[in-house]
Amino acid sequence: MASAPLLVTGAAGQIGRRVLDLLLAAKAGPIIATTRKPEALADYAARGVDVRKADFDDEAGLVAAFKGAGRALLISTDALDRPGRRIAQHLAALRAFEKAGVKHVVYTSFVNPHPATKVLISGDHRDTEAALAKSSFDFTILRNNVYTDMMLMSLPNAVASGQLFDARGNGAAGFVTRDDCARVAAAALAQDTGGRRTLDVTGPAVLTSDQVAAIAANVTGRPVAHISIPPEALQEGMVKHGQPAPVADLLVSFDLANQAGDFAVTTDTVLKLTGKAPQSVEAFLTANRAALLPK
């Protein structure tokens, strides 16, 4: 275990809280948690976590917030409202880590952030990875695959209607649960590794939408057929059903990247770093069966 404090940014988010729970359970640390909303982590402060305020949009306050940390988990933010905002946040965090004396950065990236990917938000991850490569830090880049949890947004409608619409064709993804991503992040932060590594964090299998539909049907006992439609039609349908156009564009871009094979990656990273195999899509959907069924 590392002796200098372990720091988690964005600690009030879903991954952040889970990482704190795992570090506390493993008695790793001491732990520094930074967040825009320290009051939201009062329960963690009561358990001995040093909770500090840090907003990546306010660079002036970051060095003091990060002071004393040896290893830091940089959780990519969800600031996707305007192009350029998120990468500016990440670069501000990295500059402050350096000034604060952080030695090793763990970063939550995204699978296959190559220049030709269709995923509209992958440039932020690519540029953050490039900044790490140019920096003086040791690092662990965790290229998380698509969260299995995202299925809870699309599958309830598919189960209700019997039709799973997307623009993925026969594309496939190595869906990984948010919880497994958190377990890997906690392990990468707490293990006293040096050097630089980039790891794909994935579930146990690559699944097409045909296979996901079949699993959803099996888990719920209701028929679900996968229907792949052209991306333009999917985008139009989403907007008609109330999605803002930029959100629809982003969601469609994930489908295009899926179809192009960008997410068709599986590795043993989860097992290797945590000692436990990743949760399958079937096990995840079975555990969340109630959320799939019509109310």
Residues that bind ligand NAP (CB under 6 A): 9-16, 35-37, 55-57, 75-79, 89, 108, 110, 144, 146-147, 150, 178
- Closest separation between CB of residue 236 and ligand NAP, Å? 24
Residue nearest ligand NAP (C-beta atom): 10
Closer by beta carbon to ligand NAP, 10 or else 231: 10
Closer by beta carbon to ligand NAP, 147 or else 217: 147
Closer by beta carbon to ligand NAP, 5 or else 13: 13
- Maximum distance among all Cα pairs of the chain, rounded to whole angstroms: 56
Exposed, middle or buried: residue 285 (CB in 10 Å: 0-12, 13-18, 19+)? buried
Closer by beta carbon to ligand NAP, 11 or else 224: 11
Helices 231-240, 245-260: inter-axial angle, 10-degree rounding: 150
- Closest separation between CB of residue 56 and ligand NAP, Å? 4
Closer by beta carbon to ligand NAP, 61 or else 70: 61
Place of tokens 């990273």: 269
- Closest separation between CB of residue 13 and ligand NAP, Å? 3
HSE, side-chain direction, 13 A CA sphere, residue 246: 5
Integer Cα distance of 208 and 205 in angstroms: 10
Integer Cα distance of 280 and 295 in angstroms: 25
Could you give the C-alpha distances from 137 to 92, 99, 199, in angstroms and in order? Answer: 15, 11, 16
- Closest separation between CB of residue 238 and ligand NAP, Å? 17
End-to-end CA distance of the chain: 46
Could you give the C-alpha distances from 11 to 33, 112, 281, in angstroms and in order? Answer: 6, 25, 26
- Closest separation between CB of residue 196 and ligand NAP, Å? 21
Helices 209-220, 151-161: inter-axial angle, 10-degree rounding: 70
The answer to whether the beta carbons of residues 110 and 142 sit under 8 Å apart is no
Exposed, middle or buried: residue 252 (CB in 10 Å: 0-12, 13-18, 19+)? buried
- Closest separation between CB of residue 109 and ligand NAP, Å? 9
Closer by beta carbon to ligand NAP, 152 or else 283: 152
- Closest separation between CB of residue 262 and ligand NAP, Å? 12
Closer by beta carbon to ligand NAP, 174 or else 217: 174
